Amino acid sequence: MADEKTDITLRRLTVQDVPKVADLVNGYATLGQMLPRSHHKLYQFLRDFVGAWNGDQLVGCGSLALIWEQLGEIRSLAVLPEWRRKGIGKMMIDYLLEDAKNLGLNQVFALTYQQAFFESMGFRQVARESLPHKIWGDCLDCPKFPNCDETAMIINLEPHQEGEESL
Ligand SMILES: CC(C)(COP(=O)(O)OP(=O)(O)OC[C@H]1O[C@@H](n2cnc3c(N)ncnc32)[C@H](O)[C@@H]1OP(=O)(O)O)[C@@H](O)C(=O)NCCC(=O)NCCS
């Protein structure tokens, strides 16, 4: 059987991709598994995103938001149901963490129900209260606010030195 993952390529998104990202993210949001994203927010934060593509089919997406000095957040990470457990989530996390290092970030966190996935990527669980208050801005848009039941996961990074950047 062909290795489907080798056919997957990662690339940044364009405005034409926004409806596809909205379908992917909001499909999971209607199941209560992720925060919904309006088209407005997706256009606004499009430059934070990477997409995983099988030809012209968007099979995954994820973003890195800059939160504070040295702190970033993984947001809107999703892989189409039929493409899960093929390493695509890992590919996107590796890409976004590399991006974070290039930007000089020391830590990246996620608020998630997918603890096992993030643990396998090297994240560890922390108390949500230990994160800076700045992070809660995004939560105001969440239907579950203020009764968040997601787990905070964080990873420490060693930022690239000047001249070492990749991607
Ligand atoms: C979380 C998500 C993006 C992971 O993407 P994925 O492509 O399925 O993940 P990968 O195949 O790269 O998984 C890498 C490793 O993570 C771990 N992992 C992934 N999903 C897991 C699960 N449901 N349970 C336990 N371990 C899991 C495994 O160790 C896996 O390696 P393996 O398949 O060789 O065992 C995907 O499950 C998803 O879209 N979920 C719904 C949306 C969501 O909850 N997003 C997170 C928002 S923060």
Å from CA of 161 to ligand 1 middle: 30
- Candidates 87, 88, 39, 40; CA nearest to 61 is 88
pLDDT value at residue 18:
98
Distance CA 156, CA 107 (A): 5
Strand partners, 65: 73
Atom number of ligand 1 nearest to Cα 118:
16
Question: Would you give per-residue pLDDT tens digits along the chain (167 residues)?
Answer: 445 666 999 999 999 999 999 999 999 999 989 989 999 999 999 999 999 999 999 999 999 999 988 999 999 999 999 999 999 999 999 999 999 999 999 999 999 999 999 999 999 999 988 887 767 767 777 777 777 788 999 999 987 777 777 77
Helices assigned H by DSSP within the chain? 18-29, 39-44, 88-103, 115-120
Distance CA 7, CA 106 (A): 32
Distance CA 162, CA 154 (A): 24
Question: What is the CB < 6 Å shell around ligand 1?
Answer: 28, 33-34, 77-79, 84-90, 110, 112-114, 116-117, 120
Distance CA 62, CA 154 (A): 16
pLDDT value at residue 3:
58
Best residue for ligand 1 mutational test, from 10, 25, 85, 148 (most atoms within 8 Å of Cβ):
85
Enclosing H/E stretch for 60: strand 57-68
Delineate the domains of the chain, giving CATH numbers in brackets. 4-156 (3.40.630.30)
